[in-house]
Amino acid sequence: MKGVRTREGTRGLAREGGLIGAVDEAAVIARVRAGEPEAYAELVRAHTGIAIRAAVAFGAGSDAEDVVQSAFFKAYRSLATFRDGAAFRPWLLRIVVNETRNTVRSAVRLRSATGREAALLEAEPLIPDSADPAVAALETERRALLRAALGQLGEEQRLVVTYRYLLDMDEAETAEALGWPRGTVKSRLNRGLKKLGRLLPPPDGGGGGAGA
């Protein structure tokens, strides 16, 4: 299958992700099903960025690119079962998350908790060298606090918060990706955000919440 075979190719597509714009997914899928496999590269280019973000967010760490490549391949092999009229992105991200979980379960036998945390930090987007060092340090600290707080949420709350805000998916896409009714998404998201609000320090770094 052209366009998704190599890890280096996936890296290149990730760098291009912001340049693709909207893709007529139904038309591309129809072309692939009609015997034009190279058309699948359009879907890869359009969704590699968010797929990598999802893999990192759910714990793939330094294996994120390999996870995404595998997920795209599995999605390609499963296009025959893709429901006509459905959105491709939520369907793909379900595959990415499942692949991430499989990878994490395998890796846990080989890595210590410290090693997994280090891999996750290395896999995060780098702060540009031109950034103010103080700003860079603050962003790193905020990411660490957010990761720690998310880790204290229940599985369902962590999933819905990650999809809705870290992956910037709308409510309908989140519901489709998780296979939940929209009302369930709303209620679990509301509970998750409330718990995060209690766990995270205020934006100004003040500590007045407990004694106020």
- Mean pLDDT along residues 49-77: 94
CB 20 within 8 A of CB 6: no
The mean predicted confidence, pLDDT, of the chain is 78
Judge whether 212 lies within some domain. Answer: no
- Are 88 and 133 members of one domain? no
CA-wise closest residue to 97 among 75, 114, 77, 116:
75
- Mean pLDDT along residues 198-203: 80
Number of domains in the chain: 2
Judge whether 131 lies within some domain. Answer: yes
pLDDT on residue 19? 36
| pLDDT of 210 above 50 | no
| Window from 41-50, 71-80, 104-113 with minimum mean pLDDT | 104-113
Last residue of a domain, one of 117, 149, 168: 117
Residue-wise pLDDT tens digits, 76-126: 999 999 999 899 999 999 999 999 999 888 765 444 444 544 554 455 444
d(CA 193, CA 204): 18
- Structural domain containing residue 33: 1-117
- Are 153 and 193 members of one domain? yes
Residue-wise pLDDT tens digits, 124-172: 444 445 455 565 566 667 777 888 888 898 989 999 999 998 888 999 9
- Are 36 and 106 members of one domain? yes
Angle at 61 (CA atoms; ends 55, 66), nearest 5 degrees: 65
Last residue of a domain, one of 117, 152, 184: 117
| Window from 35-49, 58-72, 123-137, 187-201 with minimum mean pLDDT | 123-137
